Amino acid sequence: MTNKLTFDFAATSVGDLPTPEPDSPYRPRRPYRFSTLCATVENPSLKDQYGSSSVPIYQTATFKGVGGEYDYTRSGNPTRSHLEHHVAKISSAVHGFSVSSGMAALDTILRLLKPGDAIIAGDDLYGGTNRLLAYLRTHAGITVHHVDTTKPDTIIPLLKTENNIAMVLLESPTNPLLKIVDIATIAKEVKERVPAALIVVDNTMMSPFLQRPLEHGADVVYDSATKYLSGHHDLMAGVITCNRDDVAKQIAFIINATGNGLTPFDSFLLLRGTKTLALRLNQQSSTSMLVARYLHSLGFPTFYPGLPDHPNREIHERISNGYGAVLSFSTGSKDVSERVVAATRLWSVSVSFGCVNSLISMPCAMSHASIPAATRAARGLPEDLIRLCVGIEDSADLLDDLERALIDAGAVRRTATGLVRVQTSIGEAVQKLAEKEAAKDEIPPHEKQWVVSAPGKVILFGEHAVVYGIPALAASVSLRCYAISTPRTDNTLGVHFLDIDVGQPGGFKHEWSLSGLPWDAVPSQSSQVEGEVALNHQLLDVISSQVLADISDANARQASLAFLYLYMVLAAHSGQRPALTLAARATLPVGAGLGSSASFSVCTSSSLLLVFGRIRVPSQSLPASPSPPPASSSSSPSPKLSDALAQCTNIYAFLLEKILHGTPSGVDNSVAVFGGGLQYTKGQSGGLEAIEGFKALRFLLTDTRVPRNTRSLVAGVAERLAKDPNGVGQVLEQIREVVVRARHKLGEEGNAATVLAGLIDENHAHLVDLGVSHPSLEDVRDVTRKYGLATKLTGAGGGGCAVTLVPDDFSESSLSSVIATLKEKGYVPYLTEVGGPGLGILIAQGTSVLPLTPPEPATPEIESDGESGAQTVTLFAQKSKPELGSWIGSLGDWAYV
Ligand SMILES: Nc1ncnc2c1ncn2[C@@H]1O[C@H](COP(=O)(O)OP(=O)(O)OP(=O)(O)O)[C@@H](O)[C@H]1O
Ligand SMILES: C[C@@](O)(CCO)CC(=O)[O-]
């Protein structure tokens, strides 16, 4: 069968197709401009027999005869041919194709690949693109590397290390964050290194009117023509354009073979829509600029390439002719954003964009919902982001409607001097500052010293049951883990775990040469966030057997494994292997049921995410804030870290908890990140709920000092459940009831202590039934019961810690005598405050707190380029436990989640 879909344009120059011959050498005609080309549908090789001024619809499946121009509409149809010729003309292309949707266009293009090929794609992609790429990865043996395509430098290392890059998939501006990708530079760099790789561009956001990537080095361009090309949201279509004859031939083959060519009627509608493309998009773009300026002036972080401070704006201006009609902004709160979207009337709530009517949406809940929440968070897509797709309505009406919605939703309020944005989150302001600082800060994050901290936790109700989906009630405690990561220059990774006793002073220290680590065992998929957050057991085994074989202490081994695993995965993603030492130290007892593993996991993951630039905080001083005492404080006035940063850290901390714990529920790491009091339900979206009631209560924690292991205690319960599903299932349900009643009580005003005490006893009895108590814990219960106090085990049990509720009216003298009795018996009681801050990051180191002369020379094992960095690490190791928290708090300005 002959290919009817490809045109032979050799005889005619595309650009001046409808331009009449110059009538005189002295009055030459210039090629027509874009809107003229758009409005003029001419195809000299397909003249209509009746001279119809509108292209007719050839609504037929077959054509009579043999050897004619057309035989079967799947292979070619005159209405479609007219459309394809027209699209090619306005796209500076030799070949044009039209298919049944934008995704069908991408699918057609991706079929050019073979199993074993790899694609480099962006990390801020349309959800549907992401979904199709994920499908090909699992079903077609295609490797996908998601990188930040706004930085051409992230692509080069992959071109060097991977020998199978067959396609680079770009989109500019990206959707929905409107990030700018330098298509021209990337195309040039890729072509120089891997000439066979195809540069493919999704041009939907711009349309050929505003951007023609074939003019900038792209090989294949596609558009979801459902958007601007058609303009009316009354059809689905995709178009593909290219200049290479070999590629065009394959595309024509695929379209014919799969039968996804556009129907005659839709081809007619699309051709009709295309005629007004320039007119519509001109109007839409100019209103978009007004809307973007309006939102920006109110102080909302607004993403639109037309705004003066939009990153890479000059690149956009080099490769395109306008800024388009999609913009996004964030209110700082998901709730507020939801209210804004619900309150608009002229802006319709709808997915998609590009039609004559204005649309509003929340990408995380709509167009990008198919991207897992974890991936969205890791890619920095704010859950509160609102996307606006501007139509052709009167701009004053659109602004008026938006303003009303912002006021109704509480995002702005009227004052005597005009509208003022209501600050929903100072975290967002800090994040904005961070981004600005990071952009102008010439010290890369891996060359900086990072100091972080995270709290331990007490589970008041629901431990163990929480692993099976039952809610647990937990709160942060004032005991914390602290970590300092210090850059070094000797191609070595070091750890210094000061609390892990391996029989030598100063805890456990170890170093590994970076070049000696088993890099071959890191799968290339780990350069994708999905790959990173799924635990790779093979990599764990290789690290354990090849790198950690000489470490016999189990605690040291597990902690080192967690650290090395995350380091290697993040290094694989970034293509960098920065040398550093991580020092960790806690005021928490390790392995006693107070979430030491989770606070260590949060400290380790946040340190490494900071080093690799995956999370960012302001690097210079922020507005002065009194340093919050990190050892305790429930009302810290310090700046807040953003929700996106917290979520991203929590995802990776959970991964490390899996390494340390086996099958954690996620409650411990969530408390360590978010702090405060929480109700946590595993695996549920929205399974994290803040509880205020905790803060009013006082607790006594008692470390029995009986060593135990969370991993084996959790495994023990799983075994019991497998053996006796009904009996153990019933106990779990009884725990659920206790949790529900306790949650109710914690939410109430007034004296809840008596009811809670009863529930504490009840919950402990159920934990005894699960087999996780210990004689030492029963002994602590006996001591406290004599004083009328209720106690239960907390955490995994089997020894470790007990928690005792101390009512407000409990006398100080009785409390002193309970504490004395417990101490006499060899236990370690801690009176703790609950509900303090979660993850903290030192954002600006002060100098005054560092002594002019360090008491000792810097420890040789912990190297640092900066002198003060080495001093900090030395003092970190030397401070006594009681002074550690306040000393570290005084190092400078801290920001907390
Ligand atoms: N300060 C620390 N430094 C290094 N590693 C630590 C530190 N704290 C905890 N860990 C790691 O966490 C492990 C202890 O985890 P485990 O889950 O048994 O105790 P826990 O978290 O205190 O108890 P629970 O999970 O019941 O609250 C240690 O073996 C060690 O690998
Ligand atoms: C025993 C357990 O419920 C609490 C450990 O602190 C395990 C978990 O939830 O991960």
Site to probe by mutation for ligand 1, drawn from 565, 587, 601, 660 as the one with most ligand atoms within 8 Å of Cβ, is 660
Q: Which ligand is nearest to the CA of 555?
A: 1
Query: What distance in Å separates the CA atoms of residue 750 and residue 727, rounded to the nearest whole number?
Result: 36
DSSP string, 772-809: ---HHHHHHHHHHHTTT--EEEETT-SSSEEEEEE-TT
Look at residues 375, 379, 894, 839 and name the one whose alpha carbon lies nearest to residue 602: 839
CA-nearest of 380, 392, 399, 328 to 355 is 392
Ligand 1 nearest-atom number relative to CA 586: 1
**pLDDT, tens digit (0-9, with 9 covering 90-100), for 570-584:** 998 888 999 999 999
Distance, in Å, from the CA atom of 670 to the CA atom of 647, rounded to the nearest integer, reads 9
Complex-level ipTM: 0.97
CA dist., res. 592 & res. 794, Å (int): 9
3-state SS, one letter per residue, for 206-272: CHHHHCCHHHHCCCEEEEECCCCCCCCCCCCCEEEEECCHHHHHHHHHHHHHHCCECCHHHHHHHHH
Annotated catalytic residue 74: yes
Cα distances (Å, whole numbers) of residue 851 to 427, 854, 868: 32, 6, 9
888 Cα: distance to centroid of ligand 1 (angstroms): 21
The confidence score (pLDDT) of residue 822 equals: 97
Structure tokens at 696: 């009013």
Ligand 2 atom with the shortest distance to the CA of 657: 10
Q: Which of 126, 222, 294, 482 is catalytic?
A: 126
Are 383 and 424 a contacting pair, CB within 8 Å?
no
**For residue 419, what pLDDT is reported?**
82
Find the mean pLDDT for residues 806-822. 94
- Are the C-beta atoms of residues 190 and 230 closer than 8 Å to each other? no
Catalytic residue among 227, 387, 640, 781: 227
**Residues 89-98 pLDDT 10s:** 999 999 999 9
Residue in 354, 96, 86, 111 with CA at minimum distance from that of residue 221: 96
Q: Is the pTM of this model over 0.90?
A: no
What tokens does 457 get? 């936790």
Compute CA 378 distance to the chain's CA centroid, rounded to the nearest angstrom.
Answer: 2
Strands (E), 90-142: 95-99, 118-122
Question: Which numbered ligand comes closest to the C-alpha of 800?
Answer: 1
Judge whether 144 and 385 are in contact, CB under 8 Å: no
Q: Which two tokens stand for residue 864?
A: 């640092």
User: How close is the Cα of 451 to the center of ligand 1, in Å?
Assistant: 19
Q: Which fold has domain 698-832?
A: Alpha-Beta Plaits (3.30.70)
Name the strand (E) or helix (H) holding 437. helix 426-440
| Angle (nearest 5°) at CA 895 between 890 and 897 | 135
What architecture is the 278-424 domain classified under in CATH? Alpha-Beta Complex (3.90)
Query: Ligand 2 in contact with 463 (CB < 6 A)?
Result: yes
| CATH architecture of the domain with residue range 446-684+838-896 | 2-Layer Sandwich (3.30)
Domain 34-275, CATH number (from 3.40.640.10, 3.30.70.20, 3.30.60.50, 3.40.50.720): 3.40.640.10
Please state, as a whole number, how many other Cβ atoms lie within 10 Å of the Cβ of residue 502: 15
> What are the pLDDT digits (tens) for 221-257?
999 999 999 999 999 999 999 999 999 999 999 999 9
162/168 Cα distance (integer angstroms): 13
Ligand closest to Cα of 600 equals 1
pLDDT band (50, 70, 90) for residue 439: low
Query: Is 227 marked active-site?
Result: yes
Residues paired with residue 475 on neighbouring β-strands, in sequence order: 458, 677
Q: What are phi and psi of 170, to 5 degrees?
A: -120, 160
DSSP designation for 107: H
Contact 471, 575 (CB under 8 A): no
| Among 74, 275, 682, 711, the one annotated catalytic | 74
User: Is omega for the bond preceding 618 within 30 degrees of 0, making it cis?
Assistant: no
Q: Over the stretch 394-413, which tens digit does the pLDDT of each residue have?
A: 999 999 999 999 999 989 88
User: Does the structure show a pLDDT above 50 at 585?
Assistant: yes
Tokens 């994040």, residue?
431
Q: For the ranges 133-137, 298-302, 801-805, 867-871, which has the lowest average pLDDT?
A: 867-871
- Every domain of the chain and the residues it spans: 34-275, 278-424, 446-684+838-896, 698-832
